[in-house]
Every structure is written in C-alpha cells, then in structure tokens.
Chain A
Amino acid sequence: MSAPIRLSSLTRCFQGVVPSIIATCDGRGMPNVTYLSQVYFVDEHHVALSCQFFNKTRRNLDENPLACVELYDPLTLEAYHLRLKFLRSEKSGPLFETMALRIEAIASHTGMTGVFKLIAADVFAVESVDLVHGFQTRAAEVATEGASLDGMRTELRGLQWVSERINRAPDLETLLQIVLEALEEFFAFSHSSVLLYDAAAGKLVTLASRGYGPSGVGAEVALGEGVIGIVARERRVLRLTALDADLRYGRAIRREAIGGSAGRKLDAEIPLPGLPDAQSVVAIPLAVGDRLIGVLSAEDRDPMRFGEWHEAYLEIIGNQIALVIDRMLSRAEEPSSDGAAVCPPGHAAAAALPLPATGCRRRFIYYKTDDAIFVDDEYLIRNVPARILWKVLGEAQRGGRTEFSNREMRLDPALGLPPVKDNFESRLILLRQRLREKCPDLQLVSTGRGRFGLRTNTAIELVER
C-alpha cells in the first residue's frame, strides 16, 4: 500500500500551468464538469476555488456539497484526484484578498476590470488525495525543480551580496543598476525592472530595467492598472504563473462580455511593460510602512520560473531597497550649502561619461500643450523632467550657464514640483537615462551633492510650440 499523498507535495499542480477540472452534481443527480481557473492551496486539509460567476458549479454545490477535482503536474503530467466537500464561501479576509488580487491583475491586464472579478473564495475540506493510476503510460523525463540546500546557500549568499552593495551604493541610479544586476547574476532573472512611484501624478515610472533594451526606461504604469499597478495599489506581492493560459481565459471572457451589456464599460487592453510573451511574473511592492516607493518586477518566458522561495526572497530584498531609496530621496531633499557641496565617493565618476564627438546640431522642440520635448523629431520626455530640461537648456542658451543646483529647481514654481516628496532625484535619473538613449551627446552630470551640470559638444536649437 502506498503512503498517503500530502497536499503540500502537489505545489506544482496548484500553479495552474495545466488547468484543473471539477465535477459536481445537482439535486436531480445530473453531473457537471468544467475547467477551473484557480485551485488555491490553503493548508494540508483545505483548498479554495475561485468563484467568479454564479455558474452551474456554484449552484450545484448548494444542492450537493461534494466535488471531485482533477489536478495535473505540469512537468510529469501525472494526474491527481481530490475528493472535496464544500464548507463555506469567503467574501472578505486574507484568503479572499489574496485570490482576488491575482484575478484582478489578470482582469486589469485584459481590460476586464469590474467584469472578471472574484465573487467569493469557496473553501473545501479535502477528504482524500489520490494519484490517477495509469494516466501516464511512461515516466516523463523531468528535470525536477527544488530548493536544494546548495540552491538555498546560493540564494543566501546572493542576499548577503545584494545587501552589501545596496548599502554601499553612492546614488540612486547606481543602486537600481546594482539590484537588477544582482538578480540576474544570482538568480538568472534576465528581465527585470524597477519603477518608482510619482505620488503627484499617481503613476509609476520605470527608472531602471534589464533585459528589455533601451525602451523600458520611462515606461509609465498608472496605479491600479495591470499587474504592476495593482501590486503598487495594494502594496502586496503578486506572483503569476502560466500567465498565457490566464490571459487566454481572460480574453475568452472579454469576447463573451463584449457581446453583452458589459461590453460598453470595457477599457482598452494594457500591454504588459516588458516581454510580449511573458509566461510568469513576480512583482514586489517597495514600501516604507504604508508609503509606496515603487515596484520591483521580474518576468520570464518559463511559466514556472518563479516559485514561493523567489517571492519570499524578493520581498526581503524589496524591503531593503525601499528603505535605501527612501533614505536617498530624503537626503537629496535636504537643503545643502551651495559653497560646501560634497561629492560622495564614486558619485561623479559614475555620472560622467565621455561625450561622443558628433559635431552635429540638435533640435529640441517643446510642445506646450503636451508638456513634452522631442529631439530631432523623436519623443524624448514629458511632464516635470521635460520642464527641468527646458529650463536648463534655456538658461544655457541665454546666458551660457552650465551649473545648476537641485534646490533652485525645487524653488522654481514653473517646474510644478510638489512641495514635499518631490522625487526630484528620480526625475533627474529618468531625464539622464532618456538623454543617454536618445541624445547621448548631451548629458546632465552630477557635480556634487545636490548639484548637476550640463555637458554637451553639440549645437542646440530650441523651439517652443
């Protein structure tokens, strides 16, 4: 006789890579069978199923509480039967919120907010767990995943390595770069990004990315929109696996809903920032207390790339990053004495890059209505960073001025910086990054604490429209 199967040993089955199925039965003895979007492991004796529509399965459970669920291991494709008994529906509380967050992220991503949502988390007692013998006729060749002790040690070393470097980072730009490098070096997270929250605009702005090419930086996500926006709004970690299956499921609902009255209220679909074919994503809120600092996000084409261990690990790193970012932003806001600016070690060296010898002429156009700057007819930047650049370029052209202080920018009402927590430093980083990508022969280099300078070897033409 084989040993009983522990529910917790079926972790892979709960990731939703291969959709599970459920059979129920109504009061007249007619069965019903359907796919499930999510089977949530609660504890060794309970699972929860997501109730998104008052469908036949849900109505059957009111008449007969028994159910049978078939789960599949996505690596071996072994099947398991869970015999369940419906206990209760939870419409609030930690379980409901955790399940709702995942569904809301998918709904938001497919423009289905308000239509595709969790009604209740239905909790079941698990009466038995059995392997479906004979489902697979041969053993699949599987590279078994798992947190081996070696793996754990590597990750702990990674934590130590990241911590050291985070604490030694001389400035915000270097810090963000270090974090993403470390994630790639130790965990092979090759597609990751950090977004910082701009409270005044209610948006997150990508300030550093790795694996996406230059276009990732500057991408914006509104609070509550898409996976990243929801993580930011809820200040909760979100790990999605088998994203493609979820998106197809969401899109199926969207198609159906468009045919009905719900179609009138649908939003346009928001493309995920990053990989167009991402299969899994983990997003971690960066927060200090209740205050949102930003979001750290990683994604991959492997549907099972991120496990619970990564989630826990990134949360630890995320807390640390949030504290350091907050400290750096607060430090940057402190008024500094103009005559006693001190450049932290490594600061200027990191900021100054050799200017390419182009000898060309650059044409900057500021569109007042859009609050955006284009360089040589290509979009460069908008909003506050655009106004900062316009002020700098204007003063340089009018009076030949090339040295500036953060403080004077903060005091200039025309720039529209919020009076507190203005994120000036992060706006400057974004501006520098965009210049690096679109106009490398013009740089804003750090010249000391709270100071920066304009460096260029190209002729500049300014046009305002």
Chain B
Amino acid sequence: MIDTRLKRCLEPGLSILVGSVDSRGVPSCSRAIALASQDDLETVTTYVPLATSQETIANVASTRRLAVAATHIVDHCSTQLKGTVTSVRLAREDESPFVLAQLDRFADLLSTLGLPKRIMRGVAHWPAFAIEMRVEEVYDQTPGPRAGSRLR
C-alpha cells in the first residue's frame, strides 16, 4: 500500500508534465492529460495527446527514459516519477472517459483560478498515446527547501 502523500499524485485534476530526452542528451517537455496506476505506483500509464507528443514518443523510443511530474495546481503539492518506458500504444476508446474526466476536473480547478473553461476545452487531448512506465524513482517536488527529496 502506498501512503497518503504518494496517493496524491493519482488524484483527479492534476497538472501532468512529462520530460524526455533524445540520444544526444537534448531534453524536451510537454503536457500530459492523465496519469493512472493500477499497482501502487510500481508502474504508471501516462496519457499524452497525439497532436503534441511526437517528440516525446520519438525520445522514449530511443532512450526509454521518462520523467512525469504531477502537481496540484491549487496548493502546488508536486510529485515526480522517473523510470523506464516499457511500452507505448494508442490509448483505447474505453480509456477515453477516464482521460476526459481528468481533463474536465483540471479545467474546473483552473477556472477557480481564473482561467476560463472554454480555453481549456480547446486544448488537444484525444486521440492520445498511453505510455507505460516502470517507476524507479519518486521525488517530492513541492516548491521549497525539501524539493527534490526522494520519497521512494
């Protein structure tokens, strides 16, 4: 069982960022739409929009390295997962409601901070790739003096 602190990175409505790197050491970043785990963060599935993730997909195809940061946009509680990508596939239709629900919840939270929902509705989110990753390192990334400390 993972603890309460770690569980926060799987709550709905998080801001999900992904970082990858190519074989020459050139990093890249983009946004993901949703994050899921069925085994207490031993592995995670990160959903990235097909429209904006070409570079991420190309990078993980060559290096298999991925970093995923999940942040609560209201209190900035943030967790970073790092590991090795085990597979990349097109997300299935039956995963679409989950991805959409995550995006909707994220839009709800953003609207409480002043960003109109209509703008978020225009953000590309489907179709999506599902990137499966074996989690090897977990870090607390909440801003402050303890940012970067290892949680697992």
- List residues of chain A with CB under 8 Å of any chain B CB: 18, 21-25, 29-35, 37, 53, 55-56, 64, 66-70, 74, 76-77, 79, 81, 83, 115, 132-141, 244-245, 248-249, 251-257, 259-260, 262, 279, 303
Q: In the complex, are the beta carbons of A31 and B146 less than 8 A apart?
A: no
**Which residues in B have their C-beta under 8 angstroms from that of A33?**
17-19, 29, 67-69, 80
Complex: A155 Cα to B21 Cα, angstroms:
48
CB distance from B123 to the nearest CB of A (A): 6
Complex: A18 Cα to B15 Cα, angstroms:
12
Q: In the complex, are the beta carbons of B65 and A134 less than 8 A apart?
A: no
Closest to B60 in A: A31
Residue B94 at the chain A interface, CB threshold 8 Å:
no
Q: In the complex, are the beta carbons of B19 and A53 less than 8 A apart?
A: no
Q: In the complex, are the beta carbons of B143 and A32 less than 8 A apart?
A: no
Q: In the complex, are the beta carbons of A34 and B141 less than 8 A apart?
A: yes
**Which residues in B have their C-beta under 8 angstroms from that of A262?**
145
Query: Interface-forming stretch among B2-10, B36-44, B70-78?
Result: B70-78
Q: In the complex, are the beta carbons of B119 and A30 less than 8 A apart?
A: no
Q: In the complex, are the beta carbons of A25 and B145 less than 8 A apart?
A: no
Complex: A139 Cα to B123 Cα, angstroms:
10
**Which residues in B have their C-beta under 8 angstroms from that of A23?**
19-21, 27-29, 67
Residue B96 at the chain A interface, CB threshold 8 Å:
no
Among A31, A35, A55, contact of B27 (Cβ-Cβ < 8 Å): A31
Complex: A449 Cα to B147 Cα, angstroms:
61
Size category, B interface: 35 or more
**Which residues in B have their C-beta under 8 angstroms from that of A252?**
75-77, 142-144
Most buried by B among A25, A132, A303: A25
Complex: A18 Cα to B141 Cα, angstroms:
18
Complex: A134 Cα to B48 Cα, angstroms:
13
**Which residues in A have their C-beta under 8 angstroms from that of B118?**
140-141
Complex: A69 Cα to B30 Cα, angstroms:
9
Closest to A132 in B: B52
- List residues of chain B with CB under 8 Å of any chain A CB: 17-21, 25-31, 49, 51-52, 63, 65-69, 71, 74-78, 80, 82, 113-115, 118-120, 122-124, 137, 139, 141-148
Q: In the complex, are the beta carbons of A21 and B29 less than 8 A apart?
A: yes
Q: In the complex, are the beta carbons of A69 and B26 less than 8 A apart?
A: no
Q: In the complex, are the beta carbons of B143 and A31 less than 8 A apart?
A: no
**Which residues in A have their C-beta under 8 angstroms from that of B20?**
23, 31
With A69-B29, A248-B75 as known contacts, state yes or no: A29 contacts B17, CB within 8 Å: no
Complex: A291 Cα to B20 Cα, angstroms:
52
CB distance from B101 to the nearest CB of A (A): 18
With A29-B25, A32-B67, A66-B25 as known contacts, state yes or no: A140 contacts B122, CB within 8 Å: yes
With contacts A25-B21, A77-B120, A252-B143 known, what are 11 further pairs, Cβ within 8 A? Answer: A21-B29, A31-B66, A33-B68, A37-B143, A56-B148, A134-B51, A135-B123, A136-B123, A137-B122, A244-B113, A253-B144
**Which residues in B have their C-beta under 8 angstroms from that of A74?**
115
Q: In the complex, are the beta carbons of A70 and B30 less than 8 A apart?
A: yes
Q: In the complex, are the beta carbons of B123 and A260 less than 8 A apart?
A: no
**Which residues in A have their C-beta under 8 angstroms from that of B18?**
33
**Which residues in A have their C-beta under 8 angstroms from that of B71?**
35
**Which residues in B have their C-beta under 8 angstroms from that of A18?**
115
With A34-B80, A136-B122, A252-B75 as known contacts, state yes or no: A257 contacts B144, CB within 8 Å: yes
**Which residues in A have their C-beta under 8 angstroms from that of B147?**
53, 55-56, 256
Q: In the complex, are the beta carbons of A68 and B28 less than 8 A apart?
A: yes
Q: In the complex, are the beta carbons of B146 and A135 less than 8 A apart?
A: no
**Which residues in B have their C-beta under 8 angstroms from that of A67?**
27
Q: In the complex, are the beta carbons of A253 and B113 less than 8 A apart?
A: no
With A34-B69, A140-B122 as known contacts, state yes or no: A68 contacts B51, CB within 8 Å: no
Complex: A259 Cα to B25 Cα, angstroms:
36
**Which residues in A have their C-beta under 8 angstroms from that of B69?**
33-35
